[in-house]
Amino acid sequence: MQNQELINMLTQYKSDFEGILSRFNHTRERIYIDTKDDPIYRQKVLEVVDLLNDWLGENHYSKMISRHFNSGISNFLGMASYKSVENIIGVLGAAIPRFKRDPELLNKIKAEKAQTRRNVEVSEQLIKFKRAERKANVMGAVAAVSLSLVIIGVFEAFVHFYPLNWLIEHKSSLPLQVGFDVILVLGLLGAFVPKWRKTCWGTTGIGGIALVLLGLLGG
């Protein structure tokens, strides 16, 4: 649909509402909409609101039309008031010239809507990526800890059943074994969780130096 087609459709709706307004019944007591026009009027209000929303997204023209419509049927009979139809014609009468004055306005609005949709899609993809990353980190940590426990179990069994007398009889035997176990866990965490690698492996290096010094001083 081209911009001019939208303008033509809004012009036609305005003309339809003017026709409905001209057929209002006037009596001494009140002015009321023709019974045949009432359902047509309600349908056309919904159509023009949807048309504006489809083209402009959330916009003040649709809001004003809806507000005037709801205000107009807020009476004992629940039928449109003369003033509400008149106000809706006024809203369309203000919108149409604006679109005519700036033919590129609708294109700008459509471009903004497209950009908004792209931004939303990027945000959704980013959220999905972060969720997947968190899940991968958790699974990596679980795998690293599980493997560490197995290796630590094998190491401790080897130390005591082989046995490694120099380690068992060392003055700092327990700290050395605990230190080795911690370094192993940190090393595997760094291997399985890239996001933690710098911290874990940096700590592992410091821990390794500490173990060497502890072994030399306590030997």
Q: What is the dihedral of CA 34, 38, 39, 45, to 10 degrees?
A: 140
Contacts (Cβ under 8 Å, ≥6 apart) of 148: 181, 184, 185, 188
pLDDT in tens, 184-214: 787 888 888 888 788 887 877 776 666 666 5
Q: What is the pLDDT of residue 16?
A: 96
pLDDT in tens, 125-155: 888 888 888 888 888 888 888 888 888 888 7
CB atoms within 10 A of CB 185: 19
- State the chain's mean pLDDT as an integer: 83
The domains of the chain are located at 3-103, 129-218
Q: Are 198 and 180 in contact (CB under 8 A)?
A: no
- What is the Cα Rg of the chain in Å? 38
